[in-house]
Amino acid sequence: MAQRDASTAFTSAWSGNVRHLAMNPASGRKLLGAGELLLPGEVSLAPGQTYTSPWTRLLLGRGTDALAHRSHAWLRSHPLIPDRPRPVLLNTWEAVYSTTTSTSSRPWPTPRPRSASSATS
């Protein structure tokens, strides 16, 4: 996609399961929708309680760079996001110590137990 082409991004501000839909029915009205996809029992409301759904954002721009710029600018303007550098945590244990059960890929090698003589040297 050329960076000058009109671009659109549609996203839910939700880190869980989401559902997006785009409809173009015969009536001529176009519809975009998005929201969280809650599993049974994830939210239970007592009488009188309310639930607020996550935000849905529509970004328009000229090219994907413009969309990224607008998205990052919006995130950085959020009052809960500090405007100072934040520490970064690099989590590598999942990549190093996980195993796979898929039959379509090669299994991870199993580490050999260390012998008593090599453990003391």
Q: Comparing C-alpha atoms, which of 26, 28, 23, 25 is closest to residue 10?
A: 23
User: What average pLDDT is seen over the chain?
Assistant: 80
Tokens coding 43:
């939210």
Q: Of the ranges 13-22, 62-71, 112-121, which one carries the lowest mean pLDDT score? A: 112-121
- Mean pLDDT over 67-89 rounds to 84
CA geometry: angle at 81 spanning 80 and 83, to 5°? 130
Average pLDDT over residues 35-53: 91
Give the pLDDT confidence score for residue 44 in this predicted structure. 92
For range 12-27, the mean pLDDT: 88
Strand-pair partners of 8: 60
In the Cβ-directed half-sphere of 49, how many Cα atoms lie within 13 Å? Answer: 6
pLDDT-above-90 percentage for the chain: 17
**Residue with the larger pLDDT of the pair 108 and 41:** 41
**Mean pLDDT across the stretch 32-55?**
91
pLDDT at 47: 95
